[in-house]
Amino acid sequence: MKLSTRTRYGLRALIDIALHQKERPVSLGEISKRQGISKAYLEQIILVLRASGIIRSVRGKKGGLVLAKSPEQISLLEVIKTLEGPISLVECVEDPKVCPRKDECPTTLLWQRLKEVLEEELRSLSLMDLLTGAKRSKME
């Protein structure tokens, strides 16, 4: 499984919002500039994150984007599933009908277990865990 730029950029945008929303809501332009992400591409990512309830928009002259929940309440699994869809190393784990060998395949249990382990790990990590690492690396 390879994560797309959509997820990598989405996580960077969420970290940026979390780091700066205390001052005021964060504008799309500010995120774009600080993170080096095209504004047009960032808009697409923000639409998905807003629709899923991870972030929300604040309207008005001093409006912008803020997290809809605290960073501790946003799991990395939620973000990745929102931006990528189901997590799976092979297609047959999500849709067994795609493989004619599903009933006798010796690797099915391996792929299922790896999916479960990956999801469990991502569920256990929050946006706050990434923020803690980001703050620490800025201090070093």
Domains of the chain: 5-139 (1.10.10.10)
What pTM value is reported for the model? Answer: 0.86
Task: Compute the distance between CA of residue 54 and CA of residue 36 in angstroms, rounded to an integer.
Answer: 22
DSSP state of 25: P
Report, in angstroms and rounded to the nearest whole number, the Rg of the chain calculated over CA atoms: 18
Look at 8-17, 41-50, 79-88 and tell me which has the smallest mean pLDDT. Answer: 79-88
- In tens, the pLDDT along 96-137 reads 788 888 778 888 889 889 999 999 999 999 999 999 875 555
Using an 8 Å Cβ cutoff, are 130 and 11 in contact? yes
Query: Which tens digit of pLDDT belongs to each residue from 58-85?
Result: 998 889 999 999 999 999 999 999 999 9
Kindly state the percentage of the chain with pLDDT values over 90.
69
Instruction: Determine which helix (DSSP H) or strand (DSSP E) holds 111, and give its type and residue range.
Output: helix 108-124
* Residues 125, 52: Cα–Cα separation, whole Å: 18
